[in-house]
């Protein structure tokens, strides 16, 4: 990814706060996933369960905290952006989808290669309630980073090689997943949101 080395070098200046800063800002706006820093740290500490748990807590907590900021920004500015660059019925459809499937949507975004930050902004613009938003983020991010830590602890180099391959192909997987979710969303919203609510 263009600029990845520069961003990682910048964050590494902050020592023990680097992982938290990278995870926090990634959930708001910047493009580098925290996995690229979390995985090597977890690998270096794979013989210490306590350190692995600590790193897992940091990356999960900071990511969800950043998403809460993204949600707040989306709630304040997202509606204006959606109305400016889209049409009112597009915004109504998003609002309906997040009203009905928002928790699952956020969980999928949190645990998958989908852009978590984008879903956070859209959730805020769609006025998704904060509590289910946070719960979905904690479970999704916790599961994603927890599985990475467990696999590195159990399989070491093999897990690192597999994780690096997945990160190298994350964009392709995200595009495929977005297309699949788009098809599913289209299927459920062939009718107008108002008609679906009264169905």
Domain that holds residue 80: 20-198
- Asked whether residue 57 is assigned to any structural domain, the reply reads yes
- Asked whether residue 2 is assigned to any structural domain, the reply reads no
The answer to pTM > 0.85 is no
Structural domain count, the chain? 1
- Asked whether residue 70 is assigned to any structural domain, the reply reads yes
- Asked whether residue 11 is assigned to any structural domain, the reply reads no
pLDDT for the residue numbered 199? 45
Q: How many CB atoms within 10 Å of residue 81?
A: 13
Residue at token pair 């706006």? 29
Helices (H) and strands (E) in the chain, counts: 11, 0
- Asked whether residue 120 is assigned to any structural domain, the reply reads yes
Find out whether 2 and 9 touch, Cβ atoms under 8 Å.
Answer: no
- Asked whether residue 15 is assigned to any structural domain, the reply reads no
- Asked whether residue 5 is assigned to any structural domain, the reply reads no
- Asked whether residue 9 is assigned to any structural domain, the reply reads no
pLDDT by residue for the chain (199 residues), tens only, comes to 545 666 667 666 665 688 999 999 999 988 888 888 898 888 888 889 999 999 999 999 999 999 999 999 988 887 777 666 566 666 666 666 677 777 887 888 788 777 788 888 888 888 888 999 999 999 999 999 999 899 998 888 887 887 776 666 555 555 555 555 555 555 555 555 454 444 4
């Amino acid at each position: 990814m263009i600029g990845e080395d520069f961003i990682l070098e910048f964050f590494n200046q902050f020592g023990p706060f680097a992982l938290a800063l990278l995870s926090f800002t990634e959930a708001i706006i910047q493009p580098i996933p925290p996995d690229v820093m979390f995985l090597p740290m977890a690998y270096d500490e794979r013989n210490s369960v306590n350190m692995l748990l600590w790193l897992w807590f940091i990356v999960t907590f900071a990511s969800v905290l950043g998403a809460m900021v993204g949600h707040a920004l989306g709630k304040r500015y997202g509606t204006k952006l959606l109305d400016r660059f889209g049409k009112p019925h597009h915004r109504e459809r998003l609002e309906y989808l997040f009203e009905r499937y928002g928790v699952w949507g956020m969980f999928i975004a949190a645990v998958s290669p989908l852009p978590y930050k984008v879903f956070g902004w859209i959730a805020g613009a769609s006025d998704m309630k904060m509590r289910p938003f946070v719960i979905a983020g904690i479970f999704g991010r916790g599961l994603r980073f927890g599985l990475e830590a467990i696999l590195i602890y159990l399989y070491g180099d093999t897990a690192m090689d597999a994780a690096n391959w997945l990160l190298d192909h994350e964009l392709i997987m995200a595009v495929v997943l977005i297309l699949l979710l788009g098809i599913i969303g289209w299927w459920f919203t062939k009718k107008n949101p108002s008609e679906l609510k009264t169905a």
